Chain A
Amino acid sequence: MVALGEGAISQLRRGVLEFCVLALLRDEERYGFEIVRTLTEIDGMVTTEGTLYPLLGRLRRDGAVETTWRESPAGPPRRYYRLTPAGDAALVAFSHEWGRFRDAVDTLLERGAVR
């Protein structure tokens, strides 16, 4: 029997997470803390906030997002993240694939349940 350990779930989550970040940035730019808090407040999405920063850094290095530092109304300057055309294209492609993948998995899970 296959054990559905923490490893399998966190691996699945890790693979999908970067596209969730891109999706958050589709319509507006956001600063790091805002992205992190929004994601952690969605149940089952992220367990620790800190590991999202390496992900943001990777997206920046890969050219999927770009950043600008801006003064905040109160407190230290904030780094704002914005989707690049390449990031936008990656998000569109993922949305399409994810839809197919989700439907395929759902079909299999439901067929199993009917039997």
Chain B
Amino acid sequence: MTTGTMHPLVRDYLDRLRRAGRRLPDRQRTELVAEIEAHLEEAVPPGASDAEVLTALDRLGEPEDIVAAEQPSAPVDDARGAHEWAAIFLLLFGGFLAGVGWLVGLILLCSSRAWTTTDKLLGALVVPGGLALPFVLFAIAGTASGERCVSVNNGPEQCTGPGAGSGVQLLAVALIVVLTVAPIATAVHLARRAR
């Protein structure tokens, strides 16, 4: 169990197994990894050569196949997929539906078993409201910074309005960009993790 003495190839293999098994219920995954780890400790003597380790890993088979053997009923996957895609779509665009759509997305996100708790927290917090939030901000910023330039008696143009503080404006643009990119990045992340 001491990770320090673990052969790097064994460590990589167990990492792959954990990743492949992230859709399993937590207890089932922990037990499976513990069993495979114990197996490898028996099969790989201390100080084994790379070739010996690779042979032991070959005999075990691919981590993905082991995880697949945990879930013999694969056809459920399709129904799940629809659930997850709806969650991602509503988290992104649901905010435009009077905000209620986003809440529905949040409920779908939390009720899905395809994501870990960390993924769910990420999906819920980055960014509440999804793309509707930067959109609304953009609209507000657009009306607020209504810069008006007037030319009085053919003289030099006089500009009024909050546009004068261009630093503040730049900050607002940056904020809107971040608020746009963050939910998209989160949606991509969720889509990849749910596979």
Contacts and interface: CB of A to CB of B under 8 A. Distances in A.
Interface of A: 32-33, 36, 40, 47-51, 53-57, 75-76, 78-79
A57 B39 contact: no
A33 B60 contact: no
A57 B38 contact: no
A54 to B, nearest CB: 4
B63 interface: yes
B1 interface: yes
B61 A79 contact: no
Interface size range on B against A? 20 to 34
A55 B35 contact: no
A57 B70 CA distance: 8
A113 B95 CA distance: 71
B65 A79 contact: no
21 contacts: A32-B39, A33-B42, A40-B59, A48-B59, A48-B60, A48-B65, A48-B66, A49-B59, A49-B60, A49-B61, A50-B36, A51-B66, A51-B69, A53-B35, A53-B36, A53-B66, A54-B32, A54-B66, A54-B67, A54-B70, A78-B38
Contact of B38 (A32, A40, A50, A54): A32
